[in-house]
Structure 1
């Protein structure tokens, strides 16, 4: 009798583990509408919010002259993209808004991206072509994110988060983009949103 009870517990445990593996449920943690925009990417092409709708995208705020968090954020995003590629995910974009648009002209952004081992550069939109004041307001309204010019240096203060935007242009989640990047969770969330 004891042997049957142990066996039953093992079967129930195994079946619950197997059930959990195939049933990841995406839970949105945010619900912020991205404001409409029409800006320029690293290829000097116009990109609007409408161009990004229809598939999920990962957003971040960076600048090429950054000497603190931007290099690890960009590197970590290439690691996220490798993981997405390994899982066969194709329907997504990576969008990086420059917080230093005066310096970050399209050719500067192109050169910046070339310094990283990007698995598929066609998925990246590095955006510029707006005023500093615009990106500060846009970041706050669309991502609840801080962007602030530092008047005492050539640096710009900004958040180190990645933001998950769904196919309808709603920010639904954010993640640490520097030290504890939850790559597996990001991949699972992207996979859930591309179904």
Structure 2
């Protein structure tokens, strides 16, 4: 069976982007059908190494860039697509020079199903600048612990999905020196994310 993303997903993502652009008003997290978990611990940040479709990737590979780090998974029904679509809108609001100085990392907390190749295809439907990462269960747990990210597998019973993964839904802003600078709430508006990125890039350009 093909592991490619069905065409209907592409159409749904396109509709989601249009909705976010013109009609979206964020609802309280507790009213969503798939509620994210809270942070497991105070995030401290730090380097880690995981795998992409192109090979091993370290956070420190992106020093000199502002990094947005997000933990999720490709089978996520609502929270991850919403956050990634919002981040994609923020990226589209940057000019080419600014975009070159930003890297978004989407780290899967579902290593059983999310291969590096599946992640590479999934993130491309949102924005070509997003990089999908995964690793062993131990590697992912260690990286998540550094950022206080919480996740847990839940049996979906008779559902075709088999299981879901509840997870925290924060976006971590990492500065050009690799330091954790800010933790953004779920569904932080694209305009706010864009302003944060420009602030970091402006500090760099003025130095």
Contact 1:56 1:193 (8 Å CA) reproduced: yes
In the alignment, is the contact (CA less than 8 A) between 1:98 and 1:128 conserved in 2? yes
Question: 1 CA distance for matches of 2:183 and 2:44?
Answer: 14
CA shift in 2, pair 1:111/1:162, >3 Å: same
* C-alpha distance in structure 1 between counterparts of 2:62 and 2:123, whole Å: 20
Q: Deviations over 1:111-162 (max 9, x none)?
A: 212433x2xx1x322101221x44234213x222212222555111111221
Asked which structure has the greater CA Rg, the reply is 1
Matches within 5 A, 1:1-195: 32-41=43-52, 43-85=53-95, 88-116=98-126, 118=127, 121=128, 123-131=129-137, 133-140=138-145, 142-151=146-155, 154-178=163-187, 181-194=188-201, 195=204
TM-score by length of 1: 0.70
* Structure 1: gaps of 5 or more residues: 1-30
Aligned partner of residue 167 in structure 1, secondary structure: coil
Instruction: Give me the TM-score of the superposition, normalised by structure 2.
Output: 0.66
RMSD: 2.3
2:47 and 2:124 map into 1 onto residues whose CA distance is 28
The answer (yes or no) to whether the contact 1:58–1:164 under 8 Å persists in 2 is: yes
Conserved 8 A contact 2:46-2:180: no
- Structure 2 distance, partners of 1:47, 1:169, is 14
4+ residue segments displaced more than 3 Å: 85-89
> Where does the alignment leave 5 or more consecutive residues of structure 2 unmatched?
1-41, 157-161
Aligned residue in 2 for 1:16:
none
The alpha-carbon deviation at position 51 of structure 1 amounts to 0.4
Instruction: Tell me, in whole angstroms, the C-alpha distance in 1 between the residues paired with 2:96 and 2:61.
Output: 25
